[in-house]
Amino acid sequence: MRYVMMICGPESNWTGPGIDELMATVESWWEKWHAEGVVVQGGAELQPVSTAKTVRRGADGKAVVTDGPYIELKDVVGGFVLLEADTIEDAVAVAATWPGIEAVGDQVEVRPTTGR
């Protein structure tokens, strides 16, 4: 079954001093789990929320586009990884090894996909 692992935290976690070391650790993590067939093709690091556009329904029922995220939050989704695992417990066990949890306090949310 496929799961999405969403990496969440303050954007400041992913910039500044020490980021190169963290990214090297993340690359090693990615390579390890990809070689084991758990990380499947797909996933991405997202650009800052300042680059976001939000599309929603306006008062007239038509799409309205605004700059930035829908709401301002301290924690944002910074990226996602697609996992292949037998159970959600197996997917969570992999997610628990995400380097950013220990290094900068990232939170990782794991959800099953619908398979569509």
Q: DSSP letter string over the chain? A: -EEEEEEEE-GGGGSSTTHHHHHHHHHHHHHHHHHTT-EEEEEEEPPPGGG-EEEEE-TTSSEEEEES-SS--SSEEEEEEEEE-SSHHHHHHHHTT-HHHHHH--EEEEEE----
What does each of the 116 residues of the chain score in pLDDT, given as a tens digit? 999 999 999 988 888 888 999 999 999 999 999 999 999 877 888 898 889 898 999 999 999 999 877 666 678 889 999 999 999 999 999 999 999 999 999 999 999 998 76
Environment class of 85 (CB within 10 Å of its CB; exposed 0-12, middle 13-18, buried 19+): buried
- Let me know if domain 2-112 sits in CATH 3.30.70.1060: yes
Q: Where are the domains of the chain?
A: 2-112
